[in-house]
A = this chain, B = another copy of it.
Amino acid sequence: MGNIKQLPISSCKFVGLNIKIIYTFNVMKAELLTIGNEILIGQITNTNSVWLAQELNLIGVEVIQITSIGDDRKAILQAFSDAQQRADIVLITGGLGPTKDDITKQVFCEFFETNLILNNEVLLDVTDFFAKRNKTVSDINKKQAEVPNGCFVIRNKNGTAPGMWMEKGGTVFVSMPGVPYEMKAMVSHDIIPEIKKRYKLPFIYHKTVLTQGIGESVLAEIVSDWEDNLASQNISLAYLPSPGVVRLRLSAQGDDETALKNKVENEVKNVLPLIQKYIYGYEEYGKEQPKLENIVGELLLEKKLKLALAESCTGGYISHLITSVAGSSAYYNGCIVPYHNEFKHQLLQVNQSIFEKYGAVSQACVEAMAAELLSVFKADVSIAVSGIAGPSGGTPDKPVGTVWIAVAYHQNIVSKQFIFGDNRQRNIHMSAITALNMLRKLILNIEQ
């Protein structure tokens, strides 16, 4: 367990009691415990724990164990007592439904040697919850307002099961519903602020540099000297690769918020000249990771440009990414998926001689399509893709994974050939990511 000191300050805004203690930790250790059979039979993925781990790491709390067990009294009691041995805080999700198979609340009482009492504020919340949905509260639902005697109640604005905060032997246990949006609202609005208020945690600053078109190992070589220098400043660097994209996350922790932020931002500036052509954006502390389709969308909106697409091997995936962004109709005109040569000719005027001389997977073909798109869709910019997604269709000259991409911005056309690999889904994904970034670079006049 972390190094704990008691300080005689603070208060608690939770229903129930006021707390007058603040703890300071060198490192505060957390365990995440999910209760319910759905995870054990592989019916659902434990995404609650991923989200909780991220949120806790962001405020400087270290997650040391994630445990999933079933709705089983003995297993729950054992997990509680094991967790108490190693963690300063245990965040529990699940097992709080009104049906008989959910037993977390009863076992919570048993572990804390207490009993359930009706909490009138929660009863009002539950009654209100059903009234808003034009339903009356059944007796079984009223039971949701019973909480362990002595617990601090965390109210649930999105459901009927309240959160419960209790302590034993210096370890905090918080029991929450397993429904993701109920749990997340409690954590964001009540539990994280309460942890930050009650415990003195180190301040952590993260900044993530988003790169495209360069592999993890090549990237590591280029920034090697810069990376060595980070250690001396106590900045840690993580490479977070996903198909087509490598994210570089810089993290530092300490007490002086402004100094930390300046130190990290300064190192982001230092790495810029080394890898500028690969960087398509930044992920800010605590905010969502910007996607290329959003970044390109914002750019098109800002520059008042209209986009059109021709997708052969990507089969509409780029169009799907673009239109998954709300408001994309302001800059997106449309797409043609010409899945055979005759439609490339008929709808996008690709000359038959191009197919005969170069084939459909060629510079000539994608450039012709990119140019024609501008007039068909009255667009300012366009993307055209043609390739062999696989698993069949490859030749010695053009193996599976060969993809030609052209991007056009009025008269300017840039095209490039790529050989991605032999996985169909990955080839489609890589082509889309690469094409979007090529368009971004063309608009911003960045080296391709």
Contacts and interface: CB of A to CB of B under 8 A. Distances in A.
Interface string A428-443: 1000000000000000
A339 to B, nearest CB: 4
A392 B328 CA distance: 11
A42 B41 CA distance: 22
Contacts of A53: 39-42
A178 interface: no
B64 A69 contact: yes
A390 to B, nearest CB: 7
Contacts of A49: 42, 46, 68
A67 B82 CA distance: 12
Task: Give the copy number.
Answer: 2
Interface string A12-47: 000000000000000000000000000111111111
Nearest to A340: B333
A206 B179 CA distance: 27
Interface string A332-369: 11111111100100010000000000000000000000
Contacts of A347: 334, 336, 347, 376
B66 A324 contact: no
A74 B299 CA distance: 51
B315 A319 contact: yes
A210 to B, nearest CB: 15
Which of A72, A311, A335: most chain B Cβ within 10 A? A335
Contact of A323 (B39, B69, B316): B316
Nearest to A56: B42
Contacts of A45: 45-47, 50
A68 B66 contact: yes
A75 B64 contact: yes
Interface string A71-89: 0100100000010001000
A271 to B, nearest CB: 21
A166 B339 CA distance: 53
B316 A337 contact: yes
B67 A67 contact: yes
A41 B240 CA distance: 12
A297 to B, nearest CB: 13
A324 B428 contact: yes
A52 interface: yes
Contacts of A260: none
A67 B70 contact: no
Given A50-B45, A327-B392, A319 B337 contact: yes
Given A45-B47, A51-B42, A334 B333 contact: no
A343 B72 CA distance: 59
Contacts of A291: none
A262 to B, nearest CB: 24
A215 interface: no
A329 interface: yes
B326 A392 contact: yes
A335 B336 CA distance: 6
A63 interface: yes
A46 to B, nearest CB: 6
A70 B327 CA distance: 42
A290 to B, nearest CB: 17
Which of A62, A323, A339: most chain B Cβ within 10 A? A339
A193 interface: no
A170 interface: no
A69 B65 contact: yes
A261 interface: no
B40 A64 contact: yes
A320 interface: yes
A320 B316 contact: yes
A424 B343 CA distance: 31
Interface of A: 39-47, 49-55, 57, 62-70, 72, 75, 82, 86, 238, 240, 309, 311, 314-320, 322-324, 326-329, 332-340, 343, 347, 376-377, 389-392, 424-425, 428
